[in-house]
Amino acid sequence: MFKTQKEEKQIRSRHILSLLMENETGALSRVSGLFSQRGYNIESLTVAPTDDPTLSRMTLVTKGNDASVEQIVKQLNKLIDIVKVMELSDYSHIEREIMFVKVAATNMESCASIKRMADIFRANVIDVKNKMYTIEITGRPDKLDGFLETMEEHKIIEVVRSGAMGITRGSNALKV
Amino acid sequence: MKLSGAEIFIECLKAENVDTIFGYPGGAVLFLYDELYKAEARGDIRHILARHEQGAVHGAEGYAKSTDKPGVAIVTSGPGATNAVTGIADAYMDSVPLVVITGQVPLGLIGKDSFQEIDIVGITRPCVKHNFLVTSIEDIAPTMKKAFHIAMSGRPGPVLVDIPKDLTNPDVDKIEFNYPKELKMRSYQPTIKGNKKQIRTALKMIAEAKKPILYAGGGVVSAKAHKELTEFGQAFNFPVTNTLMGLGTYPSNDKQYIGMLGMHGTFEANRTMHHADLIICIGARFDDRVTGDLNKFSPNAKVIHIDIDPASISKNINAHNPIVGDVKEVLNSLFDIMKEEKIKPNKSAFDAWWKEIKEWQSVNCLAYDQDDKIIKAQYVVEKLWEVTNGDSYVASDVGQHQMFAAQYYKFNKPNRWINSGGLGTMGFGLPAAMGVQLAHPEEVVSVVTGDGSIQMCIQELGTCKQYDLPLNIINLNNGYLGMVRQWQEFFYEERYAMTYNQSLPDFVKLAEAYGHVGARIEKPADVEGALREAIKDTKRLHFLDFVVEEQGNVYPMIPAGYGHNEMYLNKQDAIDDMNGKK
Ligand SMILES: Cc1ncc(C[n+]2csc(CCOP(=O)(O)OP(=O)(O)O)c2C)c(N)n1
């Protein structure tokens, strides 16, 4: 929601939402449109069909205070194409993001340092060509942030992040 | 037998018992119109030709708002569709059940900037309950079924169905027609029944309250729950206020009715709201025109909020007890629980509260002086109410006249007050009234409008002539865009930027040019007679151009950002406030 200055100071924490929606054309723009119309922010959004091809699963990360996130969940539920919404952050859950980073190694020393860092972060070097290292790394978004920081001493050419996706632990599940 | 897409479309309308459809033809809907032509000849469906697509959609809204049926409109692609957008947005804001069919260019031309191609599904996405682009002839019937279901159920709203031209062409394809009987949508299941535990809690909160207020809105109209609302209010002896959209859901001649609340609500309704310790909100949504500054709103109240739309609850004002459900269902299960638990309300529980309220009522905030020279707009509305015994359908436009109509026409029944509350659409009144008159040919239908608003859809006078709609148009002609001028007077040091309506037409001649009866009324003594004459004539439309006070204002008024205890009751309050700020 667009905020007055006073409200801006209230705590806005990170919330991760999981959505099941009809795999219909336009469903994605209804969700993204809702966020822009109502002034909610989207930190990341990923979507793909599930094992049931008529359903898509979306993971959406947003920031807001509890009341505004409650309102977001209600507004999402109101969209006709949305089948279910779950606030993952309310449950014990697992969250992962995948990232590709392309870095340029300037000398032998930096080649070694890139590989060492990749090992420490359990990342994989998936391509090397003309001193360009392409690294794949999976983990919680803050881990990816950490890895990017260590790469800053090299020349980062390109970064591709998938956005977070999540799933609950144990018997809780988001399904129809 | 195999049917074309256009024939299927007609069969869908028949299956939904649609007898009237508003629209305007064009290239992309030619096949549909060809079948509408035949359907009309068979006496199945009547098509009303508006003079502008906005008029067609407002017409469908008026039809829907005054009945328990959905409004249906059909327009062509491109400009036809964009012209319809204001009406669609209006229906969205006021939860009016509409099905709007737009023609689209043939499937193969979509995405190529073809002639009269526009992505109307994209344009209307933020202002529909739902919309569809149909992409195969097989999908026409199921989509129409869904469209009517979604428009009418839960919190009602407009649904748009965009149909590419080739799907309706008999030379392209024909299929067997099957209208789905049942519809199950896993992604759409509105909650109808209220949670019993919450309802019990509500009864406890009521038992503990000393200063309750019952605040009811348009949701009560949609749910047809006016009887239940009245029974509930009377059983507990609550003071009752209505929102602009809810007028008529509680009889305004009842002694517990304290008038409309909000920006131009009564002094007593706003004070009662401000000092309440319990707000029972039914089918209303704490709109900013109702609450004023949220930080100052009813500081000591607990809130019970009953609404079918969970997203309306705790959006602006936090609800201590949210009850999601159809308000009629919820009130009926509340009555059941009262019977089960033998709850007998103590009728004198709020006597002290009523004493306070009576004090506020004694201010008589709607009083005005009518001299024998210049007609007051308030006086015209009050006379209209008298002359029609409070029983006319009243459609209004947007501005001061709308507020005067809401304040001085005292509705005792729901569905009679037809206005654009959420979007505030000037131009709504006349076409909406056409829809009402078409739905109720024997009833008196009046339009309360202003010299600015009436010109926004004036072309519909042609439609009224074609279908012999004997509306009474009450033009409260102050020569200004009065409501905006009022704000300029109060908050912009009387710089009347673009609010003087220069070069007004001669409305009498204009009405006559369209084949109607026109009259200009300049003296207070002539008001009643002119109204009587118009209402007596059930055959012809009368356009009554009342020359009213030029710079009259609507009081009471809560300026934007003020609290309910900071109202202007008259010009002096406004002046004092402005001097205070200097
Ligand atoms: C389509 C549209 N444009 C602009 C406005 C802003 N607006 C609100 S009230 C008003 C003045 C209406 O004037 P008039 O119809 O003469 O009524 P009065 O207030 O004088 O009774 C205007 C311009 C609006 N509500 N709708």
Co-location of B415 and B504 in the same domain? yes
Co-location of B166 and B214 in the same domain? no
Of B125, B310, B318, the CB nearest to A33: B125
What is the count of structural domains for chain A? 2
Decide if pLDDT at A5 tops 60.
no
- Distance (Å) from the alpha carbon of B265 to chain A's nearest alpha carbon: 27
Mean pLDDT across A157-163? 97
Indicate which residue's Cα is closest to atom 18 of ligand 1. B482
Q: Cα dihedral sign for B504, B507, B511, B512?
A: negative
Give the pLDDT score at B422: 97
Last residue of a domain, one of A91, A123, A153: A91
A176 falls within a domain: no
Annotation says B116 is catalytic: yes
d(CA B313, CA B304): 10
CB count within 10 Å of CB B171 equals 8
CB count within 10 Å of CB B489 equals 18
Q: Tokens 């409070």 appear where? A: B390
Co-location of B413 and B283 in the same domain? no
Partners of B313 on chain A (C-beta within 8 Å) are 74
What pairing do the DSSP bridges indicate for beta strands B472-477 and B445-450?
Answer: parallel
Last residue of a domain, one of A53, A71, A91: A91
Partners of A78 on chain B (C-beta within 8 Å) are 309-311
Give the pLDDT score at B582: 60
What is the count of structural domains for chain B? 3
Give the pLDDT score at A108: 86
Residue type present at position B473: I
Last residue of a domain, one of B110, B143, B176: B176
Of B122, B129, B310, the CB nearest to A74: B310
B370 falls within a domain: no
Mean pLDDT across B160-169? 98
Q: How far apart are the first and last CA of chain B?
A: 79
Q: Give residue ranges with CB within 6 A of ligand 1.
A: B 397-401, 424-427, 450-453, 476, 478, 480-484
Longest dimension (CA), chain A: 57
Chain A: residue whose CA lies nearest to B318: A67
Chain B segment 303-362 residues within 8 A of A by beta carbon are 309-311, 313-315, 318
Give the pLDDT score at B73: 98
Span from the CA of B481 to the centroid of ligand 1 (angstroms): 6
Task: Respond yes or no on whether the N-terminal peptide bond of residue B556 is cis (omega within 30° of 0).
Answer: yes
Confidence of residue A1 (pLDDT cuts 50, 70, 90): low
B569 falls within a domain: no
Co-location of A53 and A86 in the same domain? yes
Cβ atoms of B394 and B449 within 8 Å: the answer is no
CB count within 10 Å of CB A170 equals 8
Q: Which of B11, B16, B53, B228 is catalytic?
A: B53
Give the pLDDT score at A106: 85
Query: What is the CATH number for B164?
Result: 3.40.50.970
B93 falls within a domain: yes
Longest dimension (CA), chain B: 79
Confidence of residue B561 (pLDDT cuts 50, 70, 90): confident
Ligand 1 atom with minimal separation from the B483 CA:
19
Co-location of A61 and A136 in the same domain? no
Confidence of residue B580 (pLDDT cuts 50, 70, 90): confident
B488 falls within a domain: yes
d(CA A16, CA A22): 20
Decide if pLDDT at B8 tops 90.
yes
Co-location of B228 and B302 in the same domain? yes
Give the pLDDT score at B144: 98
Decide if pLDDT at A10 tops 80.
no
Give the pLDDT score at B199: 98
Exposed/middle/buried for residue B204 (C-beta within 10 Å: 0-12, 13-18, 19+): exposed
Mean pLDDT across B408-429? 98
Give the pLDDT score at A6: 55
Give the closest residue to B448 by CA, choosing from B390, B398, B395.
B395
Co-location of A9 and A84 in the same domain? yes
A106 falls within a domain: yes
Crossing angle for the helix pair B327-340 and B196-208, nearest 10 degrees?
70
Partners of B127 on chain A (C-beta within 8 Å) are none
Annotation says B428 is catalytic: no
A172 falls within a domain: no
Give the pLDDT score at B114: 97
Decide if pLDDT at B289 tops 80.
yes
Partners of B149 on chain A (C-beta within 8 Å) are none
Mean pLDDT across B189-204? 97
Of B126, B187, B309, the CB nearest to A81: B187
Last residue of a domain, one of A48, A63, A91: A91
A44 falls within a domain: yes
Span from the CA of B174 to the centroid of ligand 1 (angstroms): 49
Co-location of B462 and B381 in the same domain? yes
pTM: 0.96
Co-location of A85 and A11 in the same domain? yes
Co-location of A68 and A122 in the same domain? no
Decide if pLDDT at A72 tops 90.
yes
**Residues above pLDDT 90, as percent of chain B:** 97
Indicate which residue's Cα is closest to atom 4 of ligand 1. B426
Co-location of B89 and B57 in the same domain? yes
Co-location of B274 and B416 in the same domain? no
Confidence of residue B466 (pLDDT cuts 50, 70, 90): very high
C-alpha B113, offset from chain centre: 36
Co-location of A20 and A82 in the same domain? yes
Determine the Cα angle at A46 with ends A42 and A51, to 5°.
Answer: 145
A170 falls within a domain: no
Co-location of B317 and B423 in the same domain? no
Co-location of A142 and A121 in the same domain? yes
A57 falls within a domain: yes
B372 falls within a domain: no
d(CA B509, CA A145): 74
Chain A segment 106-145 residues within 8 A of B by beta carbon are none
Q: pLDDT tens for residues A15-56?
A: 999 999 999 989 999 999 999 999 999 999 999 999 999 999
Partners of B309 on chain A (C-beta within 8 Å) are 78
SS3 at position B535: helix
Co-location of A118 and A81 in the same domain? no
- Distance (Å) from the alpha carbon of B411 to chain A's nearest alpha carbon: 33
By the CB < 8 Å criterion, does A33 face chain B? Answer: yes
Annotation says B297 is catalytic: no
Co-location of B412 and B298 in the same domain? no
Co-location of B502 and B446 in the same domain? yes
Co-location of A119 and A155 in the same domain? yes
B504 falls within a domain: yes
Q: pLDDT tens for residues B62-112?
A: 999 999 999 999 999 999 999 999 999 999 999 999 999 999 999 999 999
Annotation says B115 is catalytic: yes
- Distance (Å) from the alpha carbon of B36 to chain A's nearest alpha carbon: 30
By the CB < 8 Å criterion, does A70 face chain B? Answer: yes
By the CB < 8 Å criterion, does A83 face chain B? Answer: yes
Co-location of B248 and B120 in the same domain? no
Give the pLDDT score at A12: 78
By the CB < 8 Å criterion, does A95 face chain B? Answer: no
d(CA B530, CA B539): 16
CB within 8 Å: B186 and A176: yes
The question of ipTM being above 0.90 is answered as yes
Co-location of A137 and A107 in the same domain? yes
CB within 8 Å: A83 and B186: yes
Of B121, B187, B314, the CB nearest to A70: B314
Span from the CA of B292 to the centroid of ligand 1 (angstroms): 20
SS3 at position A149: helix
Top residue of A30, A74, A175, A176 to mutate, by most chain B CBs within 10 Å, is A74
Co-location of A77 and A62 in the same domain? yes
By the CB < 8 Å criterion, does A69 face chain B? Answer: no
Span from the CA of B377 to the centroid of ligand 1 (angstroms): 15
Exposed/middle/buried for residue B392 (C-beta within 10 Å: 0-12, 13-18, 19+): buried
A41 falls within a domain: yes
Partners of A67 on chain B (C-beta within 8 Å) are 314, 318
Q: pLDDT tens for residues B334-381?
A: 999 999 999 999 989 999 999 999 999 999 999 999 999 999 999 999
CB within 8 Å: A80 and B185: yes
A175 falls within a domain: no
CB within 8 Å: A37 and B126: yes
By the CB < 8 Å criterion, does B294 face chain A? Answer: no
Chain B: residue whose CA lies nearest to A6: B295
Query: What is the CATH number for B202?
Result: 3.40.50.1220
Annotation says B268 is catalytic: no
CB within 8 Å: A33 and B126: yes
Co-location of A54 and A11 in the same domain? yes
* Structural domain of A46: 5-91
Mean pLDDT of chain B: 97
B581 falls within a domain: no
Co-location of B88 and B115 in the same domain? yes
d(CA A69, CA A67): 5
Confidence of residue A9 (pLDDT cuts 50, 70, 90): low
Span from the CA of B33 to the centroid of ligand 1 (angstroms): 35
Q: Tokens 């959609």 appear where? A: B57
CB within 8 Å: B122 and A29: yes
**What tokens were used for B1?**
């037998």
CB within 8 Å: B311 and A75: yes
Query: What is the CATH number for A101?
Result: 3.30.70.1150
* Structural domain of B454: 377-547
B530 falls within a domain: yes
- Distance (Å) from the alpha carbon of A60 to chain B's nearest alpha carbon: 19
Q: Which of B398, B407, B449, B478 to mutate to test the pocket of ligand 1 (most atoms within 8 A of CB)?
A: B398
Give the pLDDT score at A3: 59
**What tokens were used for A107?**
């000398």
Top residue of B124, B155, B187 to mutate, by most chain A CBs within 10 Å, is B187
Decide if pLDDT at A2 tops 70.
no
Last residue of a domain, one of B298, B333, B361: B361
Last residue of a domain, one of B337, B361, B385: B361
- Distance (Å) from the alpha carbon of A19 to chain B's nearest alpha carbon: 11
Confidence of residue B560 (pLDDT cuts 50, 70, 90): confident
CB within 8 Å: B314 and A82: no
- Distance (Å) from the alpha carbon of B315 to chain A's nearest alpha carbon: 7
By the CB < 8 Å criterion, does B111 face chain A? Answer: no
